[in-house]
Structure 1
């Protein structure tokens, strides 16, 4: 079948994966499209570039005003002072460049501004929480994959314009850049080299707002009471506080689509976390009641300006 003959639904289905958490839960996820990842990188780069230019211009005019007000002669500044200022600026750019990615990707959303705009985020392939080591590794590798060869090619182009001999170095750097640029097209999970080293992948991120109310004819609609056993499930503040919006949306998807075996695993995990005896045979009613009460709590918190994005928030 040609690419033109594949419908968008079929393409999306090819990106569906199952993430198994350390608790043994199988969660459905969707691998982010390569175009979305490229778009997010361009947005992040433009945000960084614009911010650095604005900061540099602002610092320049502030420093210039202070120097002029003090009567100091700029022409009398020694070369060592200028070199020191240049080193300070280089350190600032380095911290801004890596800090922008590290701080945001290590946060609860696991995404930079660019990734959040296009609706994607980073996740650990092992199902655990992202570690600083993984985020640092994938960001360092990104520079080796993309930005270093691009900067080298730009320098070589300037040298060639001046008539300097560059030999085959240009072809070598171009091959280096092309190899890593096309790397995500040679594996089914669209992983770049940094993802492989760091043990991460980029997945689609559900929208932050709560999903529509789950329509069920069970415990969620009966005030927490089970139709099968008559047991009424009621959860306290501490028990409902272990999860946030992300887990609520995951639970909703599983109640809609998952088989009884998967629901039993989720039921056992939640019971273990809140200290309940899991029992057996009434898993769906338990989860429906837990879903309804968790949703009610999160919505009530939102009205008072409190938000819990996920269990880590």
Structure 2
């Protein structure tokens, strides 16, 4: 699933109370809401739960042994992982203005008095769940926009912009750690005849199949990008030596020369086509000490092979 296909997570509510009967009662009330409920019987369990989950809301009992609700809220506010969740104190005590002010100072956004009024509880919870969903939907939309800006819409591979960013960062790491990095430029041979003969639908299907085949040959830490048209590039970090990179280049060339079976909507039978690839390899640091120099070297070697008719 791509980032653009993601949906907001189901909201979670943390209920903190040292009395099991209160936890059961709260669980029954919150069962009417579209959310997951996580329970904690003391302050330490609450802190631990906040490290493991992202909560839309925390319903926190004030009067608990060892660590009361004020202490728990203070510790949550000091944690970068936990401070984002709003806290509603649930209490039969501390109803005066001074204690309410203390609660707000340690991070509470509201109070609910015991015994709990079901209508008041669910009304307040609903507001925070809706707020969480709105924020989560915004985050998903922002992530989708970032993904679209940095990935090729056809193959979902990194595009030229993300490729340039990863190459620059990879070279910086290789320089800092005294490691090698390999850059492989790939131009697909005989792609145009397929596109001209069978149409753009076949060309798009072929590009997707090529992208999937190249992606499957690389490690998760490597990058395969579509630079545009029928040109791709691979960034291989932490390469032991040139021989290893050359061996992979040969394997990629041989793999690209194997037939592709394309399933097209306008054809009753799969279409089998055969292309190939011209690949240019450049190594950091021996072939170039910057991203510009490395790109120029890989690109020149790729076109030299293509013009010589070597595949």
TM range (shorter): under 0.3
Greater share of residues in helix: 1
Q: Could you say which structure has the greater relative contact order, defined with CA pairs below 8 angstroms and 6 or more residues apart?
A: 1
Under a length normalisation based on structure 1, what TM-score does the superposition of the two structures give? Answer: 0.26
Greater share of residues in strand: 2
